[in-house]
Structure 1
């Protein structure tokens, strides 16, 4: 089968594309477009496998969902396996140093979603003349493009700082990669695991990209969201879909724990521009475990720690760090030059970091590891049971999961799928209540399953049986 046709008949047909834009960059027959649910998806502009232009880069080698591509462990070994003092952990990948802390220098921490280390390290690379530009996600100011954010290139400290903050929003890289190919220079890129890994696979096939992207900074994130996540938040604050101008998904709230952050939206209500802040816990769909507006491909990765990045940054979801509102990062370092910059930053008191061990690092992302690695086998088994094509992963398909955890997985899948469908209908009806009413019983069932799982873990058998009977009734 033709390489592009195989891509179409597997990844696209069964909806396993992350929407990174890598395929559109590599193959002239593909464009990356919004679908009806606010997700970026590759679209063939004519039939795959025809005689038209295309690319010399096989899609099967650069898309992480294709069976022919290398996996994260294999690419990580190529990049980091021969470094001195490198360690390997099946959960974390290769690494040199592990930390938890934040940036002491300037206002990097205040302007960040968490501890400020992502923007700070990009600034350091730029100031030390190790890069000429940063490829990162910024606000989209193009009035002809409805997307709130896009990948762009920053070439100054001021521009780099504008890319601070987490954006739970779909972006694609085809256009910015084309700019990199057309413009010589040394670049750093920052992104989620699917994006960094896709760039690493592309770099193995494209010598120009390989030569120009010098550093990859990785973020930890539970899953990708569609653009409807932002629309839903905005609508609940009074902004109709399409009327949002800006959104801050991680607004720090003074005197509240780090995980009790807010959301800030600016947009138009009845012809008047307004800015509204609300605690995220008051938003329907705030629970990350429920997976509202989740992109399907996110459920079929086994990479929690962005294993092919030179440095990985996440939130320190640990009790000793979540008590105050300013935010704290966990940090995993692989690249020796970045490792030295971090050590110098600690010595110069620009950074306040604690060394942690692998157990503590894994604990900081415990729920993520459970869903992404421990319970992935069940999701793969379900696809095999249904005789559906699915990507080959490092985790083996397995039905060996406790009953209640299976029910939680099934309900998460239903919540994600139904959130896309019901929100679109709500927009068509111009009725937000339709969406919240349709999702409420699904959320209630999810919460019942979680309560049952909690009591089972506590060993309170009688109460657990009572809840189980209620669930089945």
Structure 2
């Protein structure tokens, strides 16, 4: 990857591009745009543009998949010298681990989960640690639903509450940060936080001005077509969606059962439609419909370079509370002190926990992003394709059933955008489902097979235990 041609073929083909917008802030020969599949991609502004070796090295060093620094290296640099710091190879460095929710105000009510994403920003602002927040809000542009924005007041920060399964990029806000002194906090997915951390090693303005990095746990990034998929099944066709709540809480059932609320035009009239996610085709996160391909090559489950990582407490003992709870992995001393004080004051309800419980809350995520990443790397290696250097080595050492599930996820990622585009052309949503039906049947079969093997294994364990006792 030492020349421009290989650089383009390998990365800017979009197979390994997270679309964060960081690259275009490093080199003005590059820009970012949304492609026809609804994913952000980096592109070269002029044809036959020549990059110097120094420029290429600078670009590589701010990319998650190309940099010589991985999350372990950077985490060590950021956090290892903190007094009483802990380390776990699967969650990174941490001072304290918690599960719970915000008790005060309406943070929890207005959040997708326990309310900590918005709460920590308002606390940092209230206490004077920051004066600006970089987060995702409803877009002011008609060509997209959401975008990264900068907020300076409590009310503006609150408007950025809730999870958005929608592509965003940082290029415009980075321009503002570079030219506008201030104390900023930013929130983002693992690839975004990692690339901002890498950028801060090159750019003194970014390093000096972004004071806090708030990380989210996320299985994978989505294209805009995922939103179209949800809206279409609510009766609002692609292009007619005005707003969407991806995680509308229900008054019944566990917190893992939620709805999508879509507002848009139906026959020229504005309508609001609410539908439970379990009733929507594509609601199975594991299939990865409209997944951004680069997401398959991240092994950073717990956003290891963030000052605090927030995720959903996907644990049976917590999901029974349909109002939602967060897991918190705290690495920053100031944030830990803020949390400790708020706990003492009864403004937040948190239970200290351990690393095993944190990992258990994201069990499926770990299985895909770490345990089975080696198989995806192995497949690329076998095809003589370039593979990113990850903390996990290429390997085919997983069960046949899990291999087939990985193969099928790759097929979903590759084919769903193509079939969906044809379905839109035909104005027939059922076309998509018909084309994917054979993959759906096989996917379901292998999960049932895995479940059966698990039950058989458990039965033998119980039988052996009884035999030993007798």
TM-score range, shorter chain: over 0.9
Take 1:38 and 1:444, find their aligned partners in 2: how far apart are those partners? 27
Q: Is the 8 A contact 1:8 1:48 kept in 2?
A: no
Aligned-residue offset at 1:48? 5.9
What corresponds to 1:119 in structure 2?
A: 118
Query: Of 207, 214, 224, which residue of structure 2 is paired with 1:210?
Result: 207
Take 1:170 and 1:270, find their aligned partners in 2: how far apart are those partners? 27
1:272-293 superposed Cα distances (whole Å, 9 cap, x missing partner)? 0000001000000000011110
What corresponds to 2:422 in structure 1?
A: 425
Aligned-residue offset at 1:38? 0.5
Take 2:152 and 2:366, find their aligned partners in 1: how far apart are those partners? 36
What corresponds to 1:190 in structure 2?
A: 187
Query: Of 330, 335, 341, which residue of structure 2 is paired with 1:338?
Result: 335
Q: Aligned to 1:293, what secondary structure does the other structure show?
A: coil
1:205-260 superposed Cα distances (whole Å, 9 cap, x missing partner)? 11110000000000001100110000010011111111000000000010221000
What corresponds to 2:65 in structure 1?
A: 65
Take 2:69 and 2:7, find their aligned partners in 1: how far apart are those partners? 15
Q: Is the 8 A contact 2:4 2:50 kept in 1?
A: no
Q: Is the 8 A contact 2:19 2:39 kept in 1?
A: yes
Take 1:205 and 1:460, find their aligned partners in 2: how far apart are those partners? 52
Query: Of 405, 408, 417, which residue of structure 2 is paired with 1:408?
Result: 405
TM-score normalised by L of structure 1: 0.94
| Structure 2: 5+ residue stretches without partners | 460-470
Take 1:325 and 1:14, find their aligned partners in 2: how far apart are those partners? 38
What corresponds to 2:24 in structure 1?
A: 24
Aligned residues: 458
Q: Is the 8 A contact 2:187 2:215 kept in 1?
A: yes
1:256-267 equivalence runs, <5 A: 256-267=253-264
Aligned-residue offset at 1:127? 0.3
Take 2:55 and 2:251, find their aligned partners in 1: how far apart are those partners? 52
> Does 2:95 match 1:83?
no
Query: Of 248, 253, 278, which residue of structure 2 is paired with 1:251?
Result: 248
Judge which range, 236-245 or 21-30, deviates more: 21-30
1:120-177 superposed Cα distances (whole Å, 9 cap, x missing partner)? 000000000100100000010223xx11100010000000000000000100101111
Judge which range, 57-66 or 125-134, deviates more: 57-66
> Does 2:41 match 1:41?
yes
Q: Is the 8 A contact 2:71 2:305 kept in 1?
A: yes
Take 1:16 and 1:212, find their aligned partners in 2: how far apart are those partners? 28
Query: Of 387, 390, 397, which residue of structure 2 is paired with 1:390?
Result: 387
TM-score normalised by L of structure 2: 0.95
Q: Is the 8 A contact 2:255 2:322 kept in 1?
A: yes
What corresponds to 2:373 in structure 1?
A: 376
Q: Is the 8 A contact 1:110 1:326 kept in 2?
A: yes
Aligned-residue offset at 1:27? 1.4
1:141-220 equivalence runs, <5 A: 141-143=140-142, 146-220=143-217
Q: Is the 8 A contact 1:86 1:96 kept in 2?
A: yes
RMSD, aligned α-carbons:
1.7
Aligned-residue offset at 1:429? 2.0
Take 2:72 and 2:27, find their aligned partners in 1: how far apart are those partners? 26
Judge which range, 195-204 or 413-422, deviates more: 413-422
